[in-house]
Copies of this chain bind each other. A is one copy, B any other.
Amino acid sequence: MNLRVPGPTPVPEDIRAAGAQQMINHRGPEFAELINSVHSGLQHIFQTKQEVSILTASGTGAMEAAVVNSFSPGDKVLSISIGVFGNRFAQIAEIYGAEIVKPTIPYGSAADPELIKNELEKNPSIKGVLVTHNETSTGVTNDIKSIAKVVKSFDKLLLVDAISSLGCIPLPTDEWNCDVVISGSQKGFMVPPGLAFGVQSDAALSASKTATMPRFYFDFERHTSYYHRGQTPWTPAVSIFYGLDLALKKMLNEGLANIFTRHEKTATKVRSAVKEIGLKLFAEDEQSASNTVTSVRIPESVDAKRLLGLLRTEHNIVLAGGQADLDGKIFRIGHLGYVEEKEIDEVIEKLKVVLPEVGF
């Protein structure tokens, strides 16, 4: 099967085999060695000197962790949402009692740093900003470098959801002054889902000391304090640690810069091919189109369900549909983590076969 959804990505055979190793005592020396190795690999991928909390959870768990470790109920928080996952970030903060300021940004667009500047000027009591680096639901990447400059010029906390971008699209956590950056194992890391990660800047660490949103399972401080003993506070997903350890070694071997270039090349190829077929990208501005997932508008004449159904049942190609309001309006091609050129070629080739069958 050619699995081309934006995560979970296919997992290379050696990483799957690594995950099948026998269990060890998660409070013993073997696990301490494993977590140390994984931790230093993660620091490299996050491009950070800070400690990384490794949670046994989906990416959404890390989103919750980012919020509850940073804020108190009643805090005013600016949500910069450009899609479903941006909305989710805001919803979590709201459920935990934050007061959300949420300008409307049309789906398909990236966030304009000027808009963020205006909102921060209008609302001086804002404590922090939630932003999605790469919005998986629309296939749009935000310009975190510029956004961070604005947010930090107002001395606010910047929380970045990098679930579908980290290890694929550049995001130097420390250099760009991001305060909380989170990610998950099943995207750029080519590992099964089940582990999620969070990094806090010194400013975020300091904010967490007074943040009163309730937290236990997702308390970053419990994770970093146990990390010092070579452990996690709660029983970790050991098999996914095994896979991640090998995946990180492979990534470091390829080199971050090469990985970024590879993703850029693959994405450019996908976008060109899609346009050549006569389809339209959903990203308003191709400059902000994502290098990990390409969203394509479904022409009015085409039945989205039939298109994706035929690709799956007749050609073993699994693409993703649109989520929430975008259901039936777009389809999405994942090209992140473990992806080879021939798999992309196959998607394009079969799109050319199936599209005419469904009314294009």
By a beta-carbon cutoff of 8 Å, the part of chain A in contact with chain B is: 1, 3, 5, 7-11, 16-17, 19-28, 56-61, 64, 91-92, 95-97, 184, 186, 192-194, 213-218, 233-240, 312, 318, 320
Contacts and interface: CB of A to CB of B under 8 A. Distances in A.
Which 8 A-B pairs give the minimum distances between C-beta atoms? A194-B237, A58-B234, A192-B239, A60-B234, A16-B20, A20-B20, A8-B23, A193-B235
This chain: copies in complex: 2
A236 B195 CA distance: 10
B320 A193 contact: no
Contacts of A8: 23-24, 26, 235, 238
A257 to B, nearest CB: 27
B59 A234 contact: yes
Among A9, A64, A236, A239, chain B packs the most CB atoms within 10 A around the CB of A239
A34 to B, nearest CB: 13
Contacts of A26: 8, 193
B215 A95 contact: yes
Contact of A237 (B3, B10, B193, B215): B193
A92 B216 contact: yes
B64 A216 contact: yes
A58 B222 CA distance: 14
Contacts of A16: 20-22, 239
A3 B19 contact: no
Nearest to A64: B217
A61 B95 contact: no
B236 A239 contact: no
Contact of A23 (B11, B95, B97): B11
Given A11-B22, A60-B233, A237-B237, 4 more contacts: A8-B235, A17-B20, A56-B57, A57-B61
A237 to B, nearest CB: 3
Nearest to A88: B216
Contacts of A91: 216
A254 B109 CA distance: 56
Among A92, A213, A318, chain B packs the most CB atoms within 10 A around the CB of A318
A64 B65 CA distance: 14
A166 to B, nearest CB: 15
A23 B5 CA distance: 11
Given A5-B27, A25-B320, A217 B61 contact: yes
A7 B235 CA distance: 9
Among A64, A186, A217, chain B packs the most CB atoms within 10 A around the CB of A217
A8 B24 CA distance: 7
Contact of A22 (B10, B28, B56, B217): B10
Contacts of A238: 8, 192-193
Nearest to A68: B214
Contacts of A19: 19-20, 239
Contacts of A239: 16, 19, 192, 194, 239-240
A24 B2 CA distance: 10
Nearest to A17: B20
Contacts of A28: 312, 318
A223 to B, nearest CB: 12
